[in-house]
Amino acid sequence: MALRRSAHIIFNPMAGARKRDLLERVIKRLNQAGVEITLDETKGPGHATELAAAASRHGIADVIVAAGGDGTINEVARGLLGQSTPLGIIPLGTANVLAIELGLRMREGDIADMLLSGPAQLIGTGLVDDRIFLLMVGIGFDGEVVHDIDARMKRVFGKAAFVWSGLKLWFAGPAREIVLRVDGQEKRCAWAVVSNARHFAGPFVLAPDAHIEDPGLTLTLFKSGSRMAFARYFAALGLGRVHRLKDVEIMHPRRIEALSPEGLAVEVDGDARGALPQTISMGVHFLRMVVPSR
């Protein structure tokens, strides 16, 4: 394909100074390749969606780039639904699950090469109350962990902030029972994760049969709520063996109504996204995304 000659970058400044340095190095590489850069900074939640939609409507760039974490990428993606301009990423977040999913190495040369000449593939999406997600929806444990962390703590301590919040929640156990209606069938569990991709919380493989370029959701139900059970879940996640646990059920649904307990925290693509009840379903839209050359 022809090399891209223009890029509109939407940058979340909350990513911090160290991550800004990576952004500047990528921009330098693109400039050296003759790419015209437009840079916008987000001002708050939802602003990235507005900026992406406006940039795409005006047709001012060959690629619109989300520079931030998975939550920022989600916001930019929402602004590009139904548009022809592809989404690119400069991963500046804590976990960078999407970058791992795409096999993108965290080096400025690899990122710049992808944005310059990587193919634009169609990827599948999911819906949470009619708003898209690209990676996952977490109901219960990870939702509460994400809700517990403020932006400053996340920016300063990075992954350690998630570990500390998770340990606090684990010590406070047991988990509350979650009630869901999955394609019309009632299910109960202590923790539920809906995946649109293989990876979860960084490099960990939760849904080995999933692939972001293929439509379809994977629902993982963790049935037991004790501290000991959750310790087993975390160990199995680290080893990529969650699907082998007897008290874990894996389904491939089209629609999930997460009903109760009302007020239980939910995270979407690594960002806090309200509380139960919520409805999750297969997305009706594909999104064009620039990916690394194979």
127-141 pLDDT tens trace: 999 899 999 999 999
Would you call 208 exposed, middle or buried from its count of C-beta atoms within 10 A (0-12, 13-18, 19+)?
middle
Q: What is the pTM of this model?
A: 0.93
- pLDDT at residue 58, rounded to an integer: 87
The Cα 30–Cα 88 span in angstroms is: 13
23: phi > 0 → left, psi -120 to 50 → alpha, else beta; which? alpha
Strand, helix or coil for residue 247:
coil
Distance (Å, whole) CA 228 – CA 207? 22
pLDDT, tens digit (0-9, with 9 covering 90-100), for 8-23: 999 999 876 668 899 9
The encoded tokens of residue 97 equal 């699950």
Task: Name the residue among 273, 103, 121, 132 with its Cα closest to residue 198.
Answer: 103
**CA–CA distances in Å: residue 22 to residues 15, 109, 142, 224, 256:** 11, 10, 28, 42, 38
| Alpha-carbon dihedral 275, 281, 285, 289, rounded to 10 degrees | 70
Average pLDDT for consecutive 10-residue bins of the chain (294 residues)?
90 80 96 97 95 92 97 96 94 94 96 97 93 96 90 70 82 90 98 97 94 92 97 96 96 97 96 96 92 92
